[in-house]
Structure 1
Amino acid sequence: MKALTICLMLCAGVASAQEFTTYKGHGGPIMGLDVSASGQLASASFDNAVGLWSNDRPTWLDGHGAAVNAVLFPGDGSIVSGADDFTVRRWRDSTSEVIGQHQGKVAHLAATPDGAVLASASWDGTIGLWGDVTATLSGHGQGVNTVAFSSDGATLYSGSSDGTIRIWDVASATAQGVLVTHGFGINEMIVGDGWLAYGAVDGGTRVIDLATGAQIKDFSLERRPILSMDYHPATDRIAVGDGHGYIMVIDSAAWRIAQDFRATRQGPVWALAYSKDGGTIHAGGIDDVIYAWPVALLDDFDPAIGAETRPFLRQAETMPNGERQFMRKCSICHALTAGPSRKAGPTLYGVFGRQAGTVPDYRYSPTLTGSDIIWNDTTIDALFDEGPDHYIPGSKMPMQVIAAAQDRIDLIAYLRTATTED
């Protein structure tokens, strides 16, 4: 549960050992990261929780009913999080209240410099404003993936799957036009002093002059999509994470690529956050581990994320088919062992013959609470044949369909063996 410091002997003529740090305890992939003004790290995870890291140990903030995608320190002593349960929550002393509600997942959060106004980007196509200004901003044609305020907090920028970045006046909550029409979905944005950097689904990584809309620089490489960004103004460094597992570091003073680091052996970089002093970059992805590297030494490290990779990332031919189906479809959310876990779903230990919705201490959706479904070969087959959204409408279980009948048979056979009570 505590953070572990791992020494790596560097190769190619580097004589001394260097260190990177891992933060362990989450039960699912890391979706979002933020660092407070005091240097505290917070993490958002697919396991439905926010992790607040202090003295090498996590405090778990449990309250969301689905995967948490974004976490933010707005600067007022609270923590704010947004999730797949469509809500924005504010946390104080491990308790929370819902301060915002959408009709789709909350993908990203931002705050004005004084923390007085929060913005939430949602896949329902809207931006929510919460705090001193409360409004719902509509205008994008598809889901909104990212939001960012100007340095004075007067202007909000929003990036969407519709390929545009739109401009909004915060005080009046009105649209001010379109800054960028990229053509592919905009996933990430960073606003600096007179410029905006964005990352897109097609790998586009560009910097735009906020006054004129002109392009300052194009840092697009043959890697896609862009999935995460963070900026440390004091060191003029922008970090960009992509689906190929790289972290590109851009020097915003000279507008050049300062470093290009292979962070993962396989899998995406979904979350990035600089330390308070800018000397460390925290990253997360498909593993349930947060990694932190010294920025100055990035070029000296071998890929770390994936070193303790999940079993489903092993070569498929090394697994029997039933195990492979479980690893691909179920392992992120469900454990096979007895007892509590930090995963997003209940343990499958002893699942055969169990009534749905009855694992102690797991918070089920109303649909499954009191359900009359008994898990057996027939009901598990139907679950994956029809998909959870059809078989159990209203369940928190994400859409998973296993179309081939033999794959379902093999999965059930594997579960029979792997979940049998001793």
Structure 2
Amino acid sequence: MRRHLTGLLCLGLVAVAPPLAAQEFTTLKGHGGPIMGIAVHDRTGQVASASFDNSVGLWQGRKPRWLEGHRAAVVSLEYLGETRLVSGGDDFAAMIWDIESGAYTRLEGHKGKIAALDVSPDGQWIASASWDGAIGIWPLAGGAPTFLRGHDTAVTDVAFGRDSALLYSASSDGTVREWHWQDPAMRPRVVIDQGFGVNRIVLGPDDTWLAYGAVDGATRVIRPETGETLADFTLDRRPILSLAHHAGTGQLAAGDGHGYIMVIDTHGWQIARDFRAMQRGPVWALEFSPDGKMIYAGGLNDVVYGWPVALLSEYDPAGAPEHSFLRAPREMSNGERQFMRKCSICHALTPPPSRKAGPTLYGVFGRPAGSVPGYAYSEILTGSDIIWSDDTIDALFDLGPDHYIPGSKMPMQRITAAQDRADMIDYLRDATAKREN
């Protein structure tokens, strides 16, 4: 009989560092938004998670410790040896953290979100892939970064070769490119041009192979020297959003937009497991434990899940509708539907504190914009004279945040139908009202 996750979730099983002695299904709960990235320390097994709630979670025992400093969603992260970690986010910045103290150094220079990071084998450099079309090379010893340009559109992933002077990059322009980045005379070489955007790349041991996952569902392994295809694991699912490799066990995992995790045996180039990991939504983040016996994943839910790889076939998909934005539309009024689609990932309706990316909307009517204590607002909002009311909320979604409050952190989105805006305002008035206990 298949093991159902519901009972295990109720047990509150949480990963610890060092790793769990028993290999069990694991949930790491505490974030206030979707999970965008995961890193696992190769010695302690500590899990670090990057979330839409603008924070990095460090999971030790039953309670996480938070690294706060990003001004928008955190989407990528990598450990830097024993005591440091680097993260990248939608705020166009990378941040190097001291894990113990929480102190950080902010690395700025990109003009778009930082989609991925990699650390050079010699430990001297960080590479960043940005949606501004550039690759950043940051010296860990300090000093000015180098920016590499050659892709036509967003850079989505980067991977150093075994020689730290060699770098591979993926892009939404459909190419994977090779850079001898320390030699300005050498132009980047196109390894493959597969026609659809490439989301993720992984290099095999000694650069003997390169795996990539693309928007059209392509999941292929190639020789980086020639672009020759070694293996093709493309299935009728798209897009491929995450890749993870465990060199010791020869496992390569791919997560897709349909919620599946495919585990490939790289010794024989065969699919070892194909597991429906998420009940709904994509697999944005994947990583193996240090021994390769556990695989961690994250997606639309605000939970990091971990499964024993050997038992994947025994589990039902995680993430049964725990969140209201995943409920069937017929179960909600039109006003609630509008809120769930446009606002619920970023905003809570309950009293503070909230771990979501935006401030709570509790008591929002009559409240000055930019006034919830403890939330790091953009300057345009803290200096605003806006009072939230039927009229101002209507204008916000009629015009869109980019036009109504230019320069704020709110994502651009509109509700074009006047009745939909009116219904949402009616719903918010009731849902956010302050009530006596």
Note the C-alpha offset of 1:18.
8.3
Note the C-alpha offset of 1:393.
0.6
Note the C-alpha offset of 1:53.
1.0
Note the C-alpha offset of 1:256.
0.8
State the SS of the aligned residue for 1:221. coil
CA deviation vs aligned residue, 1:246-287 (integer Å, no higher than 9, x gap)? 000011111111100000111000000100111000000000
**1:398-409 mapped onto 2 (5 Å cutoff):** 398-409=411-422
Name the residue aligned to 1:301.
315
From 225, 238, 242, give the equivalent of 2:252: 238
Contact 1:43–1:50 under 8 Å retained in 2? yes
TM-score normalized by structure 2? 0.91
Name the residue aligned to 2:270.
256
Contact 2:23–2:294 under 8 Å retained in 1? no
From 128, 132, 136, give the equivalent of 1:124: 132
State the SS of the aligned residue for 2:24. strand
CA separation of 1:184/1:80 partners in 2, compared to 1, >3 Å: closer, same or farther?
Answer: same
**1:352-367 mapped onto 2 (5 Å cutoff):** 352-367=365-380
Alpha-carbon distance in structure 2 between the residues aligned to 1:340 and 1:421 = 15
Name the residue aligned to 1:170.
181
Which stretches in structure 1 are left out of the alignment for 5+ residues?
7-16
1:63 aligns with 2:65: no
1:22 aligns with 2:27: yes
1:161 aligns with 2:172: yes
CA separation of 1:203/1:3 partners in 2, compared to 1, >3 Å: closer, same or farther?
Answer: farther
Alpha-carbon distance in structure 1 between the residues aligned to 2:391 and 2:110 = 36
Alpha-carbon distance in structure 2 between the residues aligned to 1:203 and 1:127 = 24
- Corresponding pairs, count: 410
Name the residue aligned to 2:198.
186
Contact 1:346–1:362 under 8 Å retained in 2? yes
Contact 1:238–1:249 under 8 Å retained in 2? yes
Alpha-carbon distance in structure 2 between the residues aligned to 1:134 and 1:169 = 16
Note the C-alpha offset of 1:327.
0.8
Contact 2:37–2:284 under 8 Å retained in 1? yes
Alpha-carbon distance in structure 2 between the residues aligned to 1:176 and 1:136 = 13
Give the letter aligned to residue 200 of structure 2. E
Give the letter aligned to residue 323 of structure 2. R
Contact 1:350–1:421 under 8 Å retained in 2? yes
**1:14-413 mapped onto 2 (5 Å cutoff):** 19-38=24-43, 39-75=45-81, 77-92=83-98, 93-131=101-139, 134-172=145-183, 174-193=186-205, 194-304=208-318, 306-307=319-320, 309-413=322-426
Give the letter aligned to residue 145 of structure 2. T
Contact 1:118–1:131 under 8 Å retained in 2? yes
Alpha-carbon distance in structure 2 between the residues aligned to 1:250 and 1:341 = 39
Alpha-carbon distance in structure 2 between the residues aligned to 1:56 and 1:73 = 21
Alpha-carbon distance in structure 2 between the residues aligned to 1:142 and 1:119 = 17
| Identical residues among aligned pairs (%) | 60
Give the letter aligned to residue 134 of structure 1. P
Give the letter aligned to residue 108 of structure 1. A
Give the letter aligned to residue 327 of structure 1. M
Contact 1:197–1:205 under 8 Å retained in 2? yes
Alpha-carbon distance in structure 1 between the residues aligned to 2:292 and 2:342 = 37
Larger fraction in strand: 1
Note the C-alpha offset of 1:40.
1.1
Note the C-alpha offset of 1:162.
0.5
**1:3-18 mapped onto 2 (5 Å cutoff):** 4-5=12-13
Note the C-alpha offset of 1:405.
1.1
Note the C-alpha offset of 1:154.
2.7
Alpha-carbon distance in structure 1 between the residues aligned to 2:67 and 2:126 = 20
